[in-house]
Amino acid sequence: MTTEHTSGTSDPARSLALLWRGGERAGRRGKHDLSVDRVVRAAIELADTEGVAALSMRKVAERLGVGTMSLYTYVPGKSELVDVMVDTVHGELGRHHEAPGGWRARLELIARDNWALCHRHPWLLQVLTSRPPLGPNISLDYEYQLRAIDGIGLSDLEMDSVTTLVTGYVHGAARGSVDAARDQRDSGLTDEQWWDTQAPFLRKVMEPGRFPVSSRVGAAAGEAYNAASDPDQAFEFGLARVLDGLQVFIDRKADAAPER
Amino acid sequence: MTTEHTSGTSDPARSLALLWRGGERAGRRGKHDLSVDRVVRAAIELADTEGVAALSMRKVAERLGVGTMSLYTYVPGKSELVDVMVDTVHGELGRHHEAPGGWRARLELIARDNWALCHRHPWLLQVLTSRPPLGPNISLDYEYQLRAIDGIGLSDLEMDSVTTLVTGYVHGAARGSVDAARDQRDSGLTDEQWWDTQAPFLRKVMEPGRFPVSSRVGAAAGEAYNAASDPDQAFEFGLARVLDGLQVFIDRKADAAPER
DNA sequence: GACTTTTCCGTACACTGTACCGTATGGTAT
DNA sequence: ATACCATACGGTACAGTGTACGGAAAAGTC
């Protein structure tokens, strides 16, 4: 990680052409064992199984039986490779704009799909930033998310706010869940075991009277989840609250302007 | 980043003693230019100004005018240093359990405080995982967050779910905001400028009919925010929705079990 | 067969965290 | 005052990172 700054080139034309696969020219000269798709697939497999920390150009090349620098023929650098990985896995998402049940059911489906995607590719959330790679799959997903709430009385700006809230919420909850799974794997300790190693020391260092409510609540949570928390339960609880909040918002708009 | 696994030692007793400053023994022999606090303060300053990517043991040592390995006298490793950093900055949070205005006003205050904290220390969110360092400040914050909603008719488990939701939401929204600021700084381009570099290419590569809703909504958002999105506006919108959702939940409970 | 284009890749550089071990320092016991 | 030694400090080394550079080799075209 010497240079963090997205590679020295940062050529938006090249990046977008890569994402939309615009540069596949035919009749190439030299030999061609590799392709963008093979590189990307290998990188995704590697990240899925070994984690984003193990995702290095050397390891990807090794997995393909190829020299490290050969990758740079197909991909300008690591950050662009990651961009393509992100867009690629977004192709796995369902497209629910026509699903029955109204906006609430559709948003819920979208949320659950994204939740599942984040768990299938735990590196996704470690790699997302505020400017998404505008590849074909991400663009389509955005379109479908908006269609799920189109025509229900929201302004364009409000529609954007709603999708931002839902994806934002899912990402946050999924981050908690995925981090918990990773912590458990890396440490070799379940949450319960981890707590058991901390507890005796905490008891020694915390004055008993200072944390009455958290002791009570922590004990209840520990008993219910066999852990400090249960990510799936947290996701369900929060999703219901967010959708309830949106319902309030949408109903209020409908009351204010009945029958258009 | 050769080894990601939280240093070879991973001794919970040592870590907790460090967090609660239990190991400050008096009458030390050799010279002592350094202290845990000085190391932590230097590291926090460094991370605040240069970003978490620049946070290396060598740089911290340099800032203190000291050899790199000297830090290891006071701190078992980088991951433990980061733990102390995280707990330390949580000491800046206000404690609003007694604030007036009912649970909603208190939760809102807590949310805004955490939002501000995340912006004061943008590295925080890049460093948090599911098992928080259980230092004095984080423990106190958890206690005060729970007290803000104690005695309003929720079960212990529900109280835990509520605080998890609120902190989770704030972290998610803040991550978006902080990432946007960092992207802007690192790339030297405002969101608007960045969009202007992408737009001409996107127009070339996207078939016009395939993205009708996102074109419309994207245009509206671009006009309103001079960017693809406005993190502050997104935070406000989402916070109101989450609190509305909680209100529905809490009111429903009160209706079901009126009086007590 | 000659030429040209493209692919493939070995080497090198500036970074990282930290294990290992030697040296310097200053408090304590004599 | 002297000797002792626990402790603090830090130099070197190792395995790893992304990628710039430039050379070698392969294949399409004439």
pLDDT of residue B8: 36
Nearest to B65 by CA among B93, B37, B38: B38
Name the helix (H) or strand (E) containing A192.
helix A191-205
Amino acid whose CA is nearest the C1' of D5: B29
A residues 122..181 contacting B (CB < 8 A): 129-131, 134, 139-140, 142-143, 146-147, 150, 155-157, 159-161, 164-165, 168-169, 171-173, 175-176, 179-180
Q: How far apart are the first and last CA of chain B?
A: 55
Going A27 to A28 to A31 to A33, the CA torsion angle's sign is negative
Right CATH for A31-89 from 3.40.50.970, 1.25.40.10, 3.30.1330.30, 1.10.10.60:
1.10.10.60
- Chain C bases near protein CB atoms (7 A cut-off): 4-11, 14-21, 24-28
Contact B238 A205 (CB under 8 A): no
Q: Are A135 and A83 in contact (CB under 8 A)?
A: yes
Q: Do B241 and A165 touch (CB under 8 A)?
A: yes
CATH number of the domain at A96-190+227-256, out of 3.40.250.10, 3.40.50.1000, 1.10.357.10, 1.10.10.10? 1.10.357.10
Average pLDDT over residues A174-198: 89
Q: For residue range B135-154, list pLDDT tens digits in order.
A: 999 999 999 999 999 999 99
The torsion of the CA quartet A60, A65, A69, A72, rounded to 10 degrees, works out to: -60
Q: How many residues does chain A have?
A: 260
Long-range Cβ contact pairs of B217-224 (< 8 A, separation 24 or more): B217/A146, B217/A156, B217/A157, B217/A159, B217/A160, B218/A160, B219/A156, B220/A155, B220/A156, B220/A157, B220/A160, B221/A156, B221/A157, B221/A160, B222/B192, B222/B195, B224/A157
Q: CA A76, C1' D30: Å apart?
A: 32
H helices of chain B, where?
Answer: 12-19, 36-50, 57-64, 78-89, 102-120, 124-127, 136-147, 156-187, 191-205, 212-225, 231-256
pLDDT bin (cut points 50, 70, 90) of residue A48 is: very high
Residue A180's pLDDT is 92
A230 contacts B164 by C-beta, under 8 angstroms = no
Contact B134, B19 (CB under 8 A): yes
Predicted confidence at residue B2, as pLDDT, reads 32
From A45's Cα to the closest Cα of chain B, the distance in A is 19
Q: Would you say B16 and A198 are in contact if contact means Cβ atoms under 8 Å apart?
A: yes
Residue B2's Cβ-side half-sphere holds a number of Cα atoms within 13 Å equal to 2
Architecture of the domain delimited by B97-190+227-256: Orthogonal Bundle (1.10)
Q: The tokens of B166 are what?
A: 């609120």
What is A61-120 written as a DSSP string?
Answer: HHHHTS-GGGGGGT-S-HHHHHHHHHHHHGGGS---TT-SSHHHHHHHHHHHHHHHHHHH
Average pLDDT of the residues in A213-228: 92
Chain A residues with CB under 8 Å of B245 CB are: 240-246, 248
Contact B120, B92 (CB under 8 A): yes
Domain ranges of chain A: 31-89, 96-190+227-256
pLDDT tens digits, A134-167:
999 999 999 999 999 999 999 999 999 999 999 9
Residues A76-134 have pLDDT tens digits of 999 999 999 999 999 999 887 677 889 999 999 999 999 999 999 999 999 998 899 99
Q: For residues A159 and A165, is the Cβ–Cβ distance under 8 A?
A: no
Closest CA relative to residue B81, chosen from B111, B119, B140, B40: B40
Residue B114 pLDDT: 97
Of B159, B212, B219, the CB nearest to A217: B159
Among all protein residues, pick the one whose CA is nearest to the C1' atom of C11: A69
The rounded distance, in Å, linking the Cα atoms of B163 and A47 is: 32
Within 8 A of B135 by CB-CB distance, chain A residues are: none
What CA–CA distance (Å, rounded) separates B40 from B182?
23
Q: What is the pLDDT of residue A133?
A: 93
Alpha-carbon span B20 to B83, nearest angstrom: 11
**Residue whose C-alpha is closest to residue A135's, from A10, A12, A6, A16:** A16
CA A206 to chain CA centroid, nearest Å: 36
* B121 touches B47 (CB < 8 A): yes
Tokens of A238: 């929060």
pLDDT at residue B73, as a whole number = 83
Q: How many CB atoms lie within 10 A of CB A143?
A: 22
- The phi-psi region of residue B27 (left if phi > 0; otherwise alpha if psi is between -120 and 50; otherwise beta) is left
pLDDT winner (highest mean) among A17-26, A66-75, A243-252: A243-252
Three-class secondary structure of residue A57 per DSSP: helix
Model confidence at A27, pLDDT cuts 50, 70, 90, reads low
Q: Which two tokens stand for residue B148?
A: 């803000």
- DSSP helix/strand/coil, B153: coil
Residue A2, pLDDT score: 32
Q: For testing the chain A interface, which of B201, B225, B247 should be mutated: the one with the most A CBs within 10 Å?
A: B201
Q: Which residues of chain B have pLDDT under 50?
A: 1-9
d(CA A142, CA B196): 19
Question: A98 and chain B: CB distance < 8 Å anywhere?
Answer: no
Q: Which two tokens stand for residue A155?
A: 């302004």
Chain A residues within an 8 Å CB radius of B183 = 129-131
Q: What is the pLDDT of residue A228?
A: 84
How far apart CA A28 and CA A20 sit, in angstroms, is: 19
